[in-house]
Amino acid sequence: MNKIEVYDTTLRDGAQGESISFSLDEKIKICQRLDNIGIDFIEGGWPGSNPKDVAFFKEIKKKRLKNSKIIAFGSTRRAKNSAGKDKNLNALLSAKTEIVAIFGKSWDLHAREVLHISLEKNLKIIEDSIKYLKRNNCRVFFDAEHFFDGYKVNADYALRTIFVAQEAGAERIILCDTNGGVLPEELQNIIKEVRNKIKTPLGIHTHNDSGMAVANSILAVGSGVIQVQGTINGFGERCGNADLCIILPVLKLKLGKKILAKEQLKNLTGLSRYVNELANLIPQNNQPFVGRSAFAHKGGIHVDAISKTPKSYEHVDPTLVGNERRILISELSGKSNILYKLEKFGIKQPKEKVKEMVKLLGSLEKEGYQFEAADASFNLLARKASKGYKRFFKLLGFRVIVERKNGRIISEATVKLRVKDETAYTVAEGDGPVDALDIALLKGLEKFYPVLSDLRLIDYKVRVLNPEAGTAAKVRVLVQSSDKKGSWGTVGLSENIIEASLQALIDSIEYKLWKSKGTI
């Protein structure tokens, strides 16, 4: 079985997506993570287009990559230039990568109406560019831009462009659905026709404007292409590129293709979340394979079934892609959900208590509480229903002041706590009232519980539940906290946003202390 080559273009094509920008340091870090997971080719950028990409190719040479080859990307020569005097081609050479990828026009429309050159001139540009790079000891991948659109209107000319690339010495010819409009059946038929006429190994590069990028990429591999291109999380211009976080597990786990190692694939979820973090984007919970909800179960019937045999409601084992099974707690939960969660938390409850908890959850969610993203609050709720639960501290009172001083808005919080046999008063300033409360609580508790020193608030969300009530509306606050060992969610509910926030913050601290019980 031939190996399927994986070509990642997150750092170039992916970075062209709206609101996405990576610093030089971030590009280096992503590149190293891509290398660790076993990506064959990493397109580092376009050295002729901006100083940051020029710097990237210099810096990446200082890093030791185990699995990946770095590729510099650019275009064929300009029509008015000779290849030897073309700035873009010489910038590619200056990047000093073993392989370069260049794109050329394979749609006659682009030659005539975008470049304003003859069709023969376009063929000459492709030929000259590849031959020049080859003479300078570069391996060349040729991206046949707009190939499928071009083939549909003028198949003979589209084929001539890739024939020229083949004769000039391109090692791979990448068929590009640049506008993302080709449909799967069209793509399959065109690839089969091309394979009968072209000897050079083919690759596929698809965009997602019709929602077909992943399907088209997988079908292309099934039709005989040996290289699949895409980006992590499907980043890219307009609607994005083909999502490698879906393509890779499908090819490996569903089709049994020779692609990555099993241990490498287990790093996929972590890679997806890491790239989202550096791009400062909120991950899509429903992203297949790597999304937080990809293996989340809410319906009681589903949970009962997977507790007996996971494959009853899961198409693959989540651990194969580094994800995890999650059981959600909501008003739709039955005893199966509760029992599953309790078992996971190591909490033993008699059947009568479980029934009581099902009823309690129903009433709490009717009020507006939500525990799907607040596992830690549910954990505490279950523990408090057990005999002998003791709180680590008690909030006796608090006050928050927000005022303007010297043109600045100052938030100050005062909290009164009962810890063991002592009463503690603390005051703290913060960027806002919730931040001030968080700082004041931790300031008052750390001297009793030093383990809280690594507790951090990493996300804070507010949802207005009944906006028609105006300023008297009830709000739900979800807080995400973390320490060196993991993260967890807590929830608070009130007509007062400060009180709701405080509930969630207190649950977060209480949970941290509970899970650290053996060390305090």
Q: What is the pLDDT of residues 193-208, one digit of tens each?
A: 999 999 999 999 999 9
pLDDT at 512: 93
Higher pLDDT, 141 or 382: 141
Phi, psi values for residue 234, rounded to 5°? 70, 20
Whether residue 330 has pLDDT greater than 60: no
Could you tell me the end-to-end alpha-carbon distance of the chain, in angstroms, rounded to an integer? 56
Taking residue 485's Cβ as centre, other Cβ atoms within 10 Å add up to: 9
What's the mean pLDDT when you consider all of the chain? 89
Whether residue 148 has pLDDT greater than 80: yes
Q: Could you give the CA distance from residue 243 to residue 265 in angstroms, rounded to a whole number?
A: 15
Higher pLDDT, 388 or 44: 44
Q: Where in the chain is the domain with CATH 3.30.160.270?
A: 394-519
Whether residue 350 has pLDDT greater than 70: no
Q: Where in the chain is the domain with CATH 3.20.20.70?
A: 5-260
Whether residue 331 has pLDDT greater than 60: no
The stretch 22-37 carries a mean pLDDT of 94
Q: Could you give the CA distance from residue 64 to residue 435 in angstroms, rounded to a whole number?
A: 42
Give the residue carrying structure tokens 């207005």: 464
Whether residue 323 has pLDDT greater than 70: yes
When mean pLDDT is compared over 331-335, 442-446, 471-475, the highest value belongs to: 442-446
The stretch 91-95 carries a mean pLDDT of 95
Higher pLDDT, 465 or 58: 58
The stretch 115-136 carries a mean pLDDT of 96
Of the listed ranges 34-43, 241-250, 446-455, the least confidently predicted one is 446-455
Summarised one tens digit per residue, pLDDT across range 261-287 is 999 999 999 899 889 888 878 788 899
The stretch 325-345 carries a mean pLDDT of 62
Q: Could you give the CA distance from residue 508 to residue 292 in angstroms, rounded to a whole number?
A: 20
Residue 324's pLDDT band (cuts 50, 70, 90): confident
CATH of span 5-260: 3.20.20.70
The stretch 414-435 carries a mean pLDDT of 93
Cα of 341 vs its chain's centroid, Å: 27
DSSP letter, residue 76:
P
Domain 394-519 architecture: 2-Layer Sandwich (3.30)
pLDDT at 328: 65
Whether residue 442 has pLDDT greater than 80: yes
Count H helices and E strands in the chain, helices first: 18, 16
Taking residue 356's Cβ as centre, other Cβ atoms within 10 Å add up to: 13
CA distances from 116 to 80, 144, 290, 293 (A): 12, 18, 45, 49
Of the listed ranges 163-172, 350-359, 505-514, the least confidently predicted one is 350-359
pLDDT at 299: 67
pLDDT at 332: 47
Whether residue 98 has pLDDT greater than 80: yes
Taking residue 351's Cβ as centre, other Cβ atoms within 10 Å add up to: 9
pTM > 0.85: no
pLDDT at 247: 98
Whether residue 87 has pLDDT greater than 70: yes
pLDDT at 171: 98
pLDDT at 346: 67
